[in-house]
Amino acid sequence: MGPPLLKAEEYDFKGLQKALKLRPEGIIDEIKKSGLKGRGGAGFPTGVKWELALAETGEKKYIICNADEGEPGTFKDRYLLEERPLKVLEGILIAARAIGANEGFIYIRGEYTEPIKIFKKTIEEAEKQGVLGDNIFGSDFNFKLTLVRGGGAYVCGDETSLINSIEGKRGISRIKPPYPIQAGLFDRPTVVNNVESLAAAAEIINQGADYYTGLGTKNSRGTKLICLSGDIEKPGVYEVEFGSTTLRDILYELGGGPLKDDSFKFIIPGGLSTAALTIEELDCQYSYEGIEAAGSSLGSGAIIAIGQKHQLLEILQRVGRFYMDETCGTCFPCREGNRHIDYIFKKHHNGKFYQEDVDILADIGKAISGAARCGLGQTSLSLARSLFYKFPEELIIGGGQR
């Protein structure tokens, strides 16, 4: 694929030019009004995060664009980096202007060789054309952006691990508080935002919060990039307006339904750390609140469809292995707990487990999430737990009847 959109003159940076005419508070008000929630998985309101960072004092602040995209099944940020790099750059610049940062980083997943190439060129071009550097668009705003290539660990997508990684330290999560907006990169106030959040922020400033709030629902404003993958006819990245469709329609209409001679067994609606939904549960509205009401969460927007050809045991074992490999090991219960979960998943009896094993898993899950510094530990059992709950006949000896 040839690098698109690299020439800054082909893109007018209308959102940034508008932002440069506003006071930081004005930019933040617009983002708050839009109701934008962070698209990295946790859904924290972007405008509130920027407001808290603006209120922090100190001469130096940083903005970091989180392009680590390690959540299995998620590839929307790659799409934006490859196809809309200038929109992402514009979002970074607007965020920087809003919080008062003159320096920032974009941390791109190490395996993303093409996006890294494209974004490197984007930065070079932007520097040449005065979109990065001093007195951007003739204003008093100066900004330097550095690209950092990720080290390949899932946990480095967590904002505090990512900050450690940029500082050249081991990618392990930090204890919070202090939160990054208080003491983040090199102990300075730092905003970490997902690629999609920043691209959306650029579009909100460009088109106005009123336009954005006209899309979606009260609690889920705007649109979302979703990634369809797994046993589905038409995998890919799609943009949907929140509240305008259901998970079922996304899977069967946009995604073209299951593969030939197969049917869906269950789906994972928001990446590997979210609970499974069965085929009977797919009529929920696609929105944060719709998926929560169905018992799961929207997460990163990665919808993974699992067909009947897969054994549940195979899924459990793969997921267990993933978390065992990816825990950073800082919190003892997460390190040892995920190792033990992997062991239990291997110790099955013709694909099933004794109720005692399921009880031990539940205890381990409580210990891990009670001690976890980061979301990896808090969610490593979410999917497995939901599979035991929803498919007891298939997974528990005696069908889970005590």
The binding site for ligand SF4 (CB under 6 A) comprises 155, 172-173, 327-331, 334-335, 372-374, 376-377
Structure tokens at 182: 């208080």
Cis bond leading into 189, ω under 30°? no
Size of the site for ligand FMN (CB under 6 A): 23
Pairing of strands 302-307, 223-230: parallel
Min CB(351)–ligand FMN separation in Å: 29
Could you tell me which stretch among 94-102, 128-136, 282-290, 368-376 binds ligand FMN (CB under 6 A)? 368-376
Which residue in 164, 190, 197, 297 binds ligand FMN (CB under 6 A)?
197
User: Measured from the CB atom, is 44 or 211 closer to ligand FMN?
Assistant: 44
User: Long-range contacts made by residues 2-5, C-beta under 8 angstroms, separation at least 24?
Assistant: 3/117, 3/118, 3/121, 4/82, 4/83, 4/85, 4/118, 5/83, 5/84, 5/85, 5/86, 5/122
Which residue in 154, 242, 288, 353 binds ligand FMN (CB under 6 A)?
154
Residue 44 interacts with which of ligand FMN, ligand SF4, none, CB < 5 to 8 Å by class: ligand FMN
Beta bridge partners, 190, equal: 62
Structure tokens at 319: 């997921």
The DSSP code sequence of 250-277 is IIIIIS-SBPTT--EEEEESSSTTS--E
E strand map for 8-87? 62-67
Q: Are the CB atoms for 177 and 49 separated by under 8 Å?
A: no
Q: Is 148 in the site for ligand FMN (CB under 6 A)?
A: no
User: Measured from the CB atom, is 157 or 258 closer to ligand SF4?
Assistant: 157
Q: Is 158 in the site for ligand FMN (CB under 6 A)?
A: yes
Cis bond leading into 178, ω under 30°? yes
Which residue in 35, 38, 184, 337 binds ligand FMN (CB under 6 A)?
38
Min CB(326)–ligand SF4 separation in Å: 7
Question: What is the rounded CA–CA span in Å between residue 93 and residue 89?
Answer: 6
Min CB(150)–ligand SF4 separation in Å: 16
Question: What is the rounded CA–CA span in Å between residue 141 and residue 134?
Answer: 7
Binding mask 58-77 for ligand FMN (x = CB under 6 A): --------x-xxxx------
Residue 38 interacts with which of ligand FMN, ligand SF4, none, CB < 5 to 8 Å by class: ligand FMN
Q: Is 155 in the site for ligand FMN (CB under 6 A)?
A: yes
User: Measured from the CB atom, is 141 or 322 closer to ligand FMN?
Assistant: 322
Angle at 322 between CA 316 and CA 328, to 5 degrees: 140
Q: Using CB under 6 A as the criterion, which residues of the chain lie in contact with ligand FMN when the complex forms?
A: 38-42, 44, 66, 68-71, 154-155, 157-159, 192-194, 197, 374-376
